[in-house]
Amino acid sequence: MTVLAVNTQDLAGLNWPAVVIALVQVVLFIVISPLLVGLIRQVRARIEGRRGAGILQPWRDLRKLLGKDPVRAADSSWMLRVGPVALVVSSLLLCVLLPLVGTLSLDFLPSDLFVIVSVMLIGVVALALVGLDGGTAFGGMGSSRHMTVAALVEPTLLLSVYALSIPAGTSTLSLIVGARLDTPGVIISPVSVLALVALSIAIMAETGRLPIDNPGTHLEVTMLHEAMTLEASGRDLAWLELGSWLKLAALLGLVGNLAFPWGVVTEFSVLGVLIGAVAITVKVLLLGVLLSVGEVFLAKVRLFQVPELLAGSFALAFLAVTASYLVA
Amino acid sequence: MSVLRLATLIGRGHHIAEPAPERPPLFPGAEVLGGSVQVRYINAGGCNDCPLEVSAAFGPVYDVERYGARLVPSPRHADVLLITGSVTRNMAEPLRRTIEATPTPRFVIAVGDCALTGGVAGDGYGIAGPLRDFVHIDIEVPGSPPEPAAIVRALRQLTGR
């Protein structure tokens, strides 16, 4: 009986506004992440002089793939079945944890910097294992490159958000965004600018965009992300695609909210949530257009130069941390 | 050429893609694809005439991507196998394995006379036979080589756009 009593008390004490916002974030990002990818491809096609398949094309791809039964390699294990779902779950958890629509955070699941980076790592490892499981040469090569990039990206991610956390005095991302909303002057401080540039480069690497990885390539020598998904088909492929799109959208949303926190819900109200949802959609799509235009003018860097680029972003993040102690 | 100059040129030239011709009727059974067609291209053995026309169909002028067709790097991702050339002895086994690795429902488009009849080298010692001895062909694109517009038309029958 006492156990039951405690449970009901817990339920009543649950932070309902935060739960609602988390649900809104998940649903919203499932809807807009294929649109974001469609928009990125469409803008790129227009700039290149093509017509493009339309913004809704990723949705059509996803719908078709979800209806197809996968063909799996004869020697593949349960990893090929579970890995794609694990990637989607980790990306959905990112959508729950990050302050995207609102800064209200769940009490039992902190949106702490370290929690978020480890949730992201679950997806990274799942994807790498899926790449290995097919047993093809390209899959293994892709996984090895993917883990190399991931190992170089994680410290930058941690360090750059750490630099942002020093002025706010907390490592909880929702509180950092809240603090930036209260004192907007912080946003254009050198610490913040350095950390945001470092974070952006790290996110480009993490989500497999140019100049680190070319999402449109099919060339064996240059593939990173594509190489790992070569052996996935049907439903498996759909989950892998959706997982990576969700991650891209959520991380762009994080950058958007750190650079321009206005519109984020700090106190729960229905109108506020609506405004928050519209604001984050606009931010993510605008960043997507910016990313797409930038990518047209960029070439992929050589694989052996990727560590140099990422070391550069790490240096920026390190400078940001140092500056935050000296300047602030 | 500076980036700005390039941007103005592209802006002034507007679209390179030709205006879309009339939409062909949907291929029976292609409703399941819902306007999204992933294409795996296979050259089963030929003179490389047809591959040039296929790559032109996916280029910016004929731009088959605007109708929802996309080239993919793996047969596991594919809905459509686009096959050119008569099947040589060396390609017979890879072709069989590629078809096996493609999830169903899948459609096969045979491009060019070599794939359809064997072509000029059809009786040669290196040829294992025309394509229809190995796989059921859904859509035939005759020609030696066929025009990119004909390949675009065949793919549009599957995307329905």
At residue A43, does pLDDT exceed 80? yes
For residue A223, the chain B residue with the least C-alpha distance is B73
Q: Can you state the percent helix, strand and coil of chain B, rounding each to 5?
A: 40, 15, 45
Give the residue numbers spanning the domain of B74. Answer: 17-159
What is the residue-averaged pLDDT of chain A? Answer: 86
Q: What secondary structure letter does DSSP report for B122?
A: T
Closest partner CB to B63 (pick from A51, A67, A231): A51
| Min Cα–Cα distance to chain B from A64, Å | 6
Q: Taking CB atoms and an 8 Å limit, are A50 and B65 in contact across chains?
A: yes
| Min Cα–Cα distance to chain A from B125, Å | 32
Q: Taking CB atoms and an 8 Å limit, are B77 and A233 in contact across chains?
A: yes
Give the domain ranges of chain A: 2-326
Helix H segments across A48-136? 57-66, 79-97, 113-133
Is B11 part of a structural domain of the chain? no
For residue B20, the chain A residue with the least C-alpha distance is A51
pTM of the model: 0.90
Say how many domains are in chain B. Answer: 1
Chain B interface, best mutation among A37, A46, A51, by max B CB count within 10 A:
A51
pLDDT at residue A63 in the model: 92
Binning pLDDT at 50, 70 and 90, where does residue A227 land? Answer: confident
CB burial readout A114-152, b (16+ within 10 A) else e: ebbeebbebbbbbbbbbbbbbebebbbbbbbbbeebbeb
Q: Taking CB atoms and an 8 Å limit, are B36 and A52 in contact across chains?
A: no
Q: Taking CB atoms and an 8 Å limit, are B71 and A218 in contact across chains?
A: yes
Is B61 part of a structural domain of the chain? yes
At residue A6, does pLDDT exceed 50? no
Phi, psi of B43 (to 5 degrees): -100, 105
Mean pLDDT of A17-23: 88
Chain A interface, best mutation among B39, B65, B67, B74, by max A CB count within 10 A:
B74
Mean pLDDT of A223-243: 88
ipTM of predicted assembly, 2 dp = 0.86
Q: What is the rounded distance in angstroms from the CA atom of residue A36 to the CA atom of residue A288? A: 6
pLDDT of chain B, 161 residues: tens digit per residue: 677 887 777 667 666 677 788 888 888 888 888 889 999 999 998 888 899 999 999 888 888 989 999 998 889 999 999 999 889 999 999 999 999 999 988 999 999 998 888 888 888 888 988 888 899 999 999 988 899 999 999 999 999 88
Mean pLDDT of A193-210: 89
pLDDT digits (tens, 9 = 90+) for A146-187: 898 999 998 999 999 888 888 888 888 888 888 888 888 888
pLDDT at residue B14 in the model: 60
Q: Give the β-pairing of B37-43 and B80-84.
A: parallel
Is B8 part of a structural domain of the chain? no
Q: Chains A, B: CB contacts under 8 A, how many? A: 83
CB burial readout B139-159, b (16+ within 10 A) else e: bbbebebbebebbbbbbbbbb
Q: Taking CB atoms and an 8 Å limit, are A237 and B76 in contact across chains?
A: yes
pLDDT at residue A13 in the model: 59
| Numbered residues of chain B with Cβ closer than 8 Å to any chain A Cβ | 3, 10, 13, 15-17, 32-36, 38, 60, 63, 65-68, 70-74, 76-77, 79, 101-105
Binning pLDDT at 50, 70 and 90, where does residue A253 land? Answer: very high
Is B12 part of a structural domain of the chain? no
Q: Taking CB atoms and an 8 Å limit, are B103 and A223 in contact across chains?
A: no
The CATH number of residue B100's host domain is: 3.40.50.12280
pLDDT digits (tens, 9 = 90+) for A285-319: 999 999 999 988 888 888 888 889 899 999 999 99
Is B109 part of a structural domain of the chain? yes
Residues of A in contact with B67 (CB under 8 A): 53
Closest partner CB to A64 (pick from B17, B33, B71): B33
For residue B60, the chain A residue with the least C-alpha distance is A50
Residues of A in contact with B34 (CB under 8 A): 60, 63-64
Q: Taking CB atoms and an 8 Å limit, are B65 and A237 in contact across chains?
A: no
Is B123 part of a structural domain of the chain? yes
Question: Quick check: A136 and A231 in contact, CB under 8 A?
Answer: yes
